[in-house]
Amino acid sequence: MKIFKTAFANLLLRGASLGSRFVLLFVLGKFLDAEAVGMYGLILAYITYAIYALGFEYYNYSTRELIIQNPENRFSLLMSQMVFFGVVYAVVLPLLSFIFVGNLLPWKYALWFYGILIFEHLSHEVNRALIAISEPFMATLILFIKTGAWAIILSVLLILFPAFRTLEILLLFWLSGVALATAWGAFVIVSKCHPTGMSRVSWAWIIKGIKVAFPLLIASLSLRGMYSLDKIFMEKVAGLAVLGAYTLFSSVSNAVIAFIDAGLIVFYYPKIILAATKNNNISGTVNDLFMRVLLFSIFLVAGGMVVTFIALPYLGKAVYIDYFYMLVWQMGSAFLYCLGVVPQLGLYGMGKDMDILLSHLLSLVVFIIAFLILKPYVGVYSVLLSQCMGFAVMVILKCAFNLKAKSSLVMSEL
């Protein structure tokens, strides 16, 4: 009963976070021009992708270690992880200047980009650490500060005061929200982990983590490529105004993924890892998760499209209504993404990281090749179709690899 109450509270809080961002995007669509919303989407795309380079997907290693470690050893591992991130920052942050040198984004957004990027990454790591030390509700509370609280305040200000209706004000609130969330989350982690080993930084642990995380970094860059390159491709194919509509609809489809993650994945993730670590059969847990993901995804996809269709006329801009069909395709991609998370957790729990890498890499290749082939013939549809094709290939490959891994496991036990 306690777990159910926690899950329900977690889902409600995540719902408030997503709902506020959902409302914010519609308020932006109402009071900002489509080009400004498109620029926001472009900045978001580059930040989302760059986070993976900063994080190196090291959490895939560190989270497993934190889950199985005794509480008194956790802070030492977290300190080692932060030292590693310091090294990565020193290398990666200067390299990211190519985004501005190559005129992919205007220079006037450089400071906003770097500030938001750093705190977005740190807030991600804080959330993952809180989940690993069995504080999922606190992780969601921090997420609400990071994504929901500032969005609510800004939405009210945009409605009441025309002076706040600029992209720069949006970026300021975004930066303030992630910075506050990072600071509070770090304070909670320190208070829970009892820092007795602050000076113990294990380079051997760091190096081992790099070896584990690197293939998963390539896998995540491939996966997120389909959710970052899509915006870049859309801007090249149709311009900032259409990208503004695409960004608005992306927030709706991403909400489906976030709800599934908050309501289901964060609770099943530690269970699957622990079961795999103790050599228990994880098939029952994975199958149960699959059915729940399937049913909830169908419900959320249908509900999201209905609510958006009803809300669009109130924005008063034809571009959003004209491109509503984009949401249908994006919801299809989100549905496939959610289904793909289930076999991925199974592979992750069984330590089949290379299978995850291969499925993501091949999916990205399919996405890019399909886009290049379709672009001269179908324009905007080239992005929508190629993204769905990429995620469909991803689901098929992960399911096939999962069945293969389970068969190998059964044979080894005979």
> Per-residue pLDDT tens for 264-307?
776 777 677 666 666 556 667 777 888 888 998 999 999 989 98
Q: What is the pLDDT of residue 276?
A: 63
Q: What is the pLDDT of residue 43?
A: 92
Tens digits of per-residue pLDDT, 192-214? 776 654 457 788 888 888 888 88
Confidence at 77, pLDDT banded by 50, 70, 90: confident
Of 49-53, 154-158, 401-405, 410-414, which one has max mean pLDDT? Answer: 154-158
Q: What is the pLDDT of residue 251?
A: 82
Rg of the chain over Cα atoms, rounded to whole angstroms, equals: 21
How many CB atoms neighbour CB 413 within 10 A? Answer: 8
Whether pTM > 0.95 for this model: the answer is no
Dihedral angle over CA of 308, 313, 317, 323, nearest 10: 40
pLDDT over 70 at 3, yes or no: no
Q: What is the pLDDT of residue 299?
A: 92
Confidence at 216, pLDDT banded by 50, 70, 90: confident
Kindly report each contact of residues 199-203 with a partner whose C-beta sits within 8 Å and lies 24 or more positions away, as own/partner: 200/76, 200/79, 200/80, 201/76, 201/79, 201/80, 201/83, 202/76, 202/77, 202/80, 203/80
Q: What percent of the chain has pLDDT over 90?
A: 35
And the tokens for 334? 């989100």
Distance of CA 393 to CAs 329, 339, 353, 367, 388, Å?
16, 12, 17, 9, 9
What one-character-per-residue DSSP string does 104-123 give?
SS-GGGHHHHHHHHHHHHHH
Of 105-114, 304-313, 402-411, which one has max mean pLDDT? Answer: 105-114
Tens digits of per-residue pLDDT, 337-359? 999 988 888 887 777 878 888 99
pLDDT over 70 at 397, yes or no: yes
pLDDT over 70 at 4, yes or no: no
Q: In the Cβ-directed half-sphere of 362, how many Cα atoms lie within 13 Å?
A: 13
Nearest alpha carbon to residue 28 among 139, 151, 112, 150: 151
**In what helix (H) or strand (E) does residue 126 lie, and over which residues does it extend?**
helix 110-132
Domain boundaries, the chain: 2-413
Tens digits of per-residue pLDDT, 24-59? 888 988 898 888 888 998 898 899 889 988 888 787
Q: What is the pLDDT of residue 9?
A: 67
Q: What is the pLDDT of residue 302?
A: 92
Distance of CA 15 to CAs 8, 112, 159, 215, Å?
10, 27, 22, 33
